[in-house]
């Protein structure tokens, strides 16, 4: 009987996703709420200011922040993209389309996330022959552009769709001097 109870506890521990979240603040630039089943990671993306994962559940989150002015200055030298948020999102989406095999994109939705202009979309594609599902948001902050990229294996997209959407919706740009539950340096 004890073995059955222990087995049931083990299965329930690893099969469900928790509703508990933790607010993470990065460099006093932004905060985001992440599910408690994620832990800090390294090596997911070399330019990411936030990297979290649960390799067992195959669920990953990265956020990249870039100064707006650097992009605008670079975009002014080419007529291909406008030096604004639309041009920024076009370049990033085009890069994704070129890097993934058999990519299928949803339409980009213009929206707002906590008062900031944002563009969101999802896609499926193959990376190293593994079918992957991505939920992506590009966000325009006061002085930075942000990329929120969340992914899992395609077969888990329905299981993780709600946590993915909650992570994106929780993103907030902050100013200096605000406190948080946890900060990344």
Q: pLDDT over 70 for what percent of the chain?
A: 84
Average pLDDT over the chain reads 85
More confident: 78 or 110:
110
Residue 63 to residue 61: CA distance in whole angstroms: 7
Indicate the number of domains in the chain.
1
Residue 36 placed within a domain? yes
Q: What is the predicted pLDDT for the residue at 106? A: 95
Whether pTM > 0.85 for this model: the answer is no
Q: What is the predicted pLDDT for the residue at 42? A: 94
Q: Which domain holds residue 130?
A: 20-184
Task: Please check the confidence at residue 16 and state whether its pLDDT lies above 70.
Answer: no
- The sheet with strand 172-173 has its strands ordered as 172-173, 30-35, 21-26, 182-184
Residue 11 placed within a domain? no
Contacts of 27 (CB under 8 A, 6+ apart): 49, 65, 183, 184, 185
Residue 7 placed within a domain? no
More confident: 26 or 81:
26
Residue 131 placed within a domain? yes
Give me the residues paired with residue 22 across strands.
34
Q: How many CB atoms lie within 10 A of CB 18?
A: 11
Give 34-55 pLDDT, tens digit per residue.
Answer: 999 999 999 999 999 999 999 9
Q: What is the predicted pLDDT for the residue at 175? A: 73
State the CATH number of the domain containing residue 147.
3.40.1000.10
Residue 1 placed within a domain? no
| Token representation of residue 15 | 């099969």
Give 123-145 pLDDT, tens digit per residue.
Answer: 999 888 899 999 999 999 999 99
Q: What is the predicted pLDDT for the residue at 79? A: 62
Residue 8 placed within a domain? no
Helix crossing, 85-99 with 68-76: angle to 10°?
A: 80
């Amino acid at each position: 009987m004890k073995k059955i109870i222990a087995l049931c506890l083990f299965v329930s521990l690893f099969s469900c996703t928790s509703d508990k979240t933790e607010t993470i603040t990065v460099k006093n630039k932004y905060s985001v709420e992440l599910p408690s089943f994620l832990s800090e990671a390294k090596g997911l993306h070399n330019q990411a200011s936030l990297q979290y994962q649960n390799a067992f559940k195959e669920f990953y989150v990265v956020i990249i922040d870039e100064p707006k002015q650097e992009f605008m200055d670079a975009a002014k030298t080419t007529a291909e993209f406008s030096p604004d948020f639309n041009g920024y999102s076009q370049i990033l989406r085009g890069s994704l389309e070129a890097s993934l095999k058999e990519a299928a994109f949803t339409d980009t939705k213009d929206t707002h996330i906590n008062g900031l202009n944002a563009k969101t979309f999802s896609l499926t594609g193959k990376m190293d022959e593994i079918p992957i599902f991505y939920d992506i948001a590009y966000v325009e902050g006061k002085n930075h552009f942000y990329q929120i990229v969340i992914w899992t294996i395609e077969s888990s997209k329905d299981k993780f769709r709600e946590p993915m959407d909650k992570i994106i919706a929780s993103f907030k740009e902050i100013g200096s001097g605000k406190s948080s539950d946890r900060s990344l340096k």
